[in-house]
Amino acid sequence: MKHLKTAVISLMAVALMFTAAYGATSAERGKALFNDPKAFGATGETSCATCHPNGKGLEASGKWLKRSFVTPGAVWLKLQDAINFCIIMANKGKAIDPRSQDMKDVVSYIRQVSRENTEPPAGYDFNE
Ligand code: HEC
């Protein structure tokens, strides 16, 4: 009985460590969406990565001081609006709620792409 208890507790500990090591982070989920041509209700032909392979062209988009975003033919004050523009016009998908988890995940991925250059100040909330 004692051995069984030890075994069960050990198994739970291993499961927890596995989740910590392999559970997808927001940026990882965002990257998967970014690379998926069927994300955002798109037709399956074009993903974000088709034009921005590995986040190409978005190196400055996740920087905390950036306050305007340029897409073909338009300038946006919010990163989320620029993303939705590309979703509709480039991926041929449907705009997503700026407050949805999918949007947070894509934004997290774009911030990760930019992070090498700038760290945001502590407590700064990018979602506002
Ligand atoms: C058909 C090609 C294409 C696809 C697909 C595409 N984009 Fe873009 N995107 C562009 C171009 C071109 C620009 C404008 C770049 C410029 O003029 O500097 C741009 C600009 C942007 C910007 C603003 C960059 C900035 O900081 O000013 C963001 C953010 C962005 N795209 C995100 C995305 C995301 C997320 C996706 C997938 C949902 C996506 N794009 C799909 C071509 C594309």
C-alpha 6/C-alpha 10 separation (Å) is 6
Tell me which residues have their CB closer than 6 angstroms to ligand 1. Answer: 46, 48, 50-52, 57-58, 60-61, 69-72, 79, 82-83, 86-87, 90-91, 106
Residue with the smallest CA separation from ligand 1 atom 6 is 48
Q: Identify which of 52, 83, 89 to mutate to test ligand 1's pocket (most ligand atoms within 8 A of the CB).
A: 52
Q: Domain 25-115 - what CATH class?
A: mainly alpha
Highest mean pLDDT among 11-25, 53-67, 72-86: 72-86
- CA–CA distances in Å: residue 105 to residues 1, 65, 108: 45, 20, 5
Gap between the Cα atoms of 86 and 17, Å rounded: 38
Q: Probe ligand 1: pick from 40, 51, 59, 94, max atoms within 8 Å of CB? A: 51
pTM score, whole prediction: 0.81
pLDDT digits (tens, 9 = 90+) for 46-55: 999 999 999 9
pLDDT in tens, 34-46: 999 999 999 999 9
